[in-house]
Amino acid sequence: MTSPAKGGPAEGAPDVLVSARGLEVHFPIRSGGALRRTTGVLRAVDGVDLDVHRGETLGLVGESGCGKSTLGNALLRLVPPTGGTVTFDGADVTRMRRRELRELRRRAGMVFQDPFASLDPRRTVAQTVAEPLEVHGLHPGRQARAARVRELLQLVGLDPAVAARYPHEFSGGQRQRVGIARALAGEPDFLVCDEAIASLDVSVQAQVLNLLRRLQRQLGLTLLFISHDLSAVRHVSDRIAVMYLGRVVEVGPAAAVAAGPQMPYTRALLSAVPLPHPELERSRQRIVLRGDVPSPSRVPSGCRFRTRCPDVFQPCPDVDPALQPVGSAPGHVAACHLHGVVGTPVERERPDAPVDAGDPAA
Ligand SMILES: Nc1ncnc2c1ncn2[C@@H]1O[C@H](COP(=O)(O)OP(=O)(O)OP(=O)(O)O)[C@@H](O)[C@H]1O
């Protein structure tokens, strides 16, 4: 795999490990029956520009169905992009051949939501954690591999004595630790944690979050932390990216996004998060968005958030806003006409994207 530009990034510029440009994952919608004709397109990821900086935790938030998992999968080429590019450490992921792809699989892994579903019930913890070592030919020899498995279990806070046990003998939190140990076995640079705490008890969620934070620092990992839970994301992330209907609509340093969200959608998401101090919590004003998220097969023209936006105004139905610098923190960008820049005009109605009937903004 090729390295980034020789000598690394320019002084002051972030060192980017993973980068998406104009990334699209569109799924065909097919009719029933024998012919299975394509009747439309579902725009799960629809023109995402996003950089993940080396050594950071980037939180990716947004409502269910907005395309977070599909984006995470596309970055690892677990689903094929239908447009745009993804680079990993300077190499084009979409064009990788078998050998490069194998190396990508070692260097970039996934921690899944449901550790029970992602672990094979017939394999012991030792077999589960050792599998990537075998696949990638790491620590060859039975003893060396067993020693590495013990090391990995210790790294995630498990007693190495549990190596001979099966997944059903563990609690949810312990199983997630096994999943993390397995994800770390290839000594990856990058991990996508897709709703990695969502299926755990609240008391265990904090422990797993702290573990991920510690591992990130200790091993210099780069993490994409996907979650619909903005309070968890705020807790672990250096930067936050907000996704709406297949697009990244705001990105910035976690503190800046949390304290000064610039896109009305981000404001609404944040207003739903309970505040830790009772006084602040009493004065919290919840922004309730009207309507449901439109279907990704019927993306509104112009700004895709406009059908629910409390601040919708004249340019929103016609002009698709581009991400642009906002607020005072460096690196804080949002796609919103409230910030006064005209983006790329789009046709008002695309054939596969009719505007919802009764849409007040149409
Ligand atoms: N393989 C697929 N084929 C067709 N549609 C898909 C496929 N995978 C995802 N989708 C659709 O793409 C959209 C985005 O789904 P995705 O799972 O990426 O969203 P998400 O934000 O991760 O949501 P959740 O948090 O509920 O998992 C959804 O409408 C989903 O139904």
Nearest to 132 by CA among 102, 89, 88: 102
Ligand 1 closest atom vs CA 226: 22
pLDDT of residue 291: 85
Cβ distance 161 to 126 under 8 Å?
no
Ligand 1 contact, 64 CB (< 6 A): yes
Is 60 exceeded by the pLDDT of residue 1? Answer: no
Tell me which of 38, 68, 82, 299 to substitute to probe ligand 1's pocket, judged by most ligand atoms within 8 Å of the beta carbon.
68
- Residue 192 is encoded by which pair of tokens? 């996508």
Q: Per residue in 198-234, pLDDT tens? A: 888 888 999 999 999 999 999 999 999 999 888 889 9
Find the 165 Cα to ligand 1 centroid distance in Å: 34
Ligand 1 contact, 192 CB (< 6 A): no
Q: Per residue in 75-113, pLDDT tens? A: 999 999 999 999 999 999 999 999 999 999 999 999 988
Q: Is 326 strand, coil or helix?
A: coil
pLDDT of residue 341: 53
With cut-offs at 50, 70 and 90, classify the pLDDT of residue 345: low
| 279 half-sphere exposure, CB direction, 13 A CA radius | 0
Is 80 exceeded by the pLDDT of residue 34? Answer: no
Orientation angle between helical segments 172-184 and 125-135, nearest 10 degrees: 20
With cut-offs at 50, 70 and 90, classify the pLDDT of residue 197: confident
Higher-confidence position of 350 and 311: 311
- DSSP states of 68-131: HHHHHHHHTTSS--SEEEEEETTEEGGG--HHHHHHHHHHEEEE-S-HHHHS-TTS-HHHHHHH
Ligand 1 contact, 73 CB (< 6 A): no
Find the 161 Cα to ligand 1 centroid distance in Å: 39
pLDDT of residue 302: 95
Q: Is 324 strand, coil or helix?
A: strand
Ligand 1 closest atom vs CA 25: 12
Ligand 1 closest atom vs CA 67: 18
Least confident of 114-118, 119-123, 183-187, 246-250: 114-118
Is 50 exceeded by the pLDDT of residue 349? Answer: no
Ligand 1 closest atom vs CA 27: 4
- Whose alpha carbon is nearest atom 3 of ligand 1? 27
Helix, strand and coil content of the chain, in percent to the nearest 5, comes to 35, 20, 45
Ligand 1 contact, 19 CB (< 6 A): no
Is 90 exceeded by the pLDDT of residue 2? Answer: no
pLDDT of residue 359: 39
Ligand 1 contact, 68 CB (< 6 A): yes
Higher-confidence position of 194 and 292: 194
With cut-offs at 50, 70 and 90, classify the pLDDT of residue 310: very high
Find the 67 Cα to ligand 1 centroid distance in Å: 6
Q: Is 341 strand, coil or helix?
A: coil
Residue ranges and CATH numbers for the domains of the chain are 16-28+39-117+189-203+214-345 (3.40.50.300)
Residue 343's identity, in one-letter code, is: G
Cβ distance 167 to 118 under 8 Å?
no
Report the predicted TM-score, pTM, of the whole model to 2 decimal places: 0.88
Ligand 1 contact, 70 CB (< 6 A): yes
pLDDT of residue 203: 86
Percentage of the chain beyond pLDDT 70 is 90
Least confident of 10-24, 39-53, 240-254: 10-24
With cut-offs at 50, 70 and 90, classify the pLDDT of residue 361: very low
Ligand 1 closest atom vs CA 296: 29
Ligand 1 closest atom vs CA 246: 14
Cβ distance 26 to 90 under 8 Å?
no
Instruction: With residue 202 as reference, give the H or E element that holds it.
Output: helix 202-219
Find the 27 Cα to ligand 1 centroid distance in Å: 10
pLDDT, averaged across the chain: 87
Ligand 1 contact, 80 CB (< 6 A): no
What average pLDDT does the segment 137-165 reach?
A: 94
Q: Is the dihedral of CA 43, 48, 54, 58 positive or negative?
A: negative
Q: Say which residue the tokens 């054939």 belong to.
A: 351
Kindly give, in sequence order, each residue whose CB lies less than 8 Å from that of residue 90, ignoring residues fewer than 6 positions away. 1, 2, 3, 4, 5
pLDDT of residue 4: 43
Tell me which of 25, 29, 39, 42 to substitute to probe ligand 1's pocket, judged by most ligand atoms within 8 Å of the beta carbon.
42
Kindly give, in sequence order, each residue whose CB lies less than 8 Å from that of residue 187, ignoring residues fewer than 6 positions away. 106, 138
Ligand 1 contact, 242 CB (< 6 A): no
Higher-confidence position of 283 and 189: 189
Give me the torsion for CA of 46, 51, 52, 57, rounded to 10°.
-80
Find the 43 Cα to ligand 1 centroid distance in Å: 10
pLDDT of residue 3: 42
Kindly give, in sequence order, each residue whose CB lies less than 8 Å from that of residue 199, ignoring residues fewer than 6 positions away. 113, 114, 115, 116, 172
With cut-offs at 50, 70 and 90, classify the pLDDT of residue 335: very high
Q: Per residue in 265-309, pLDDT tens? A: 999 999 888 777 777 777 777 888 888 889 999 999 999 999 999
Interface predicted TM-score (ipTM) of this complex, two decimals:
0.97
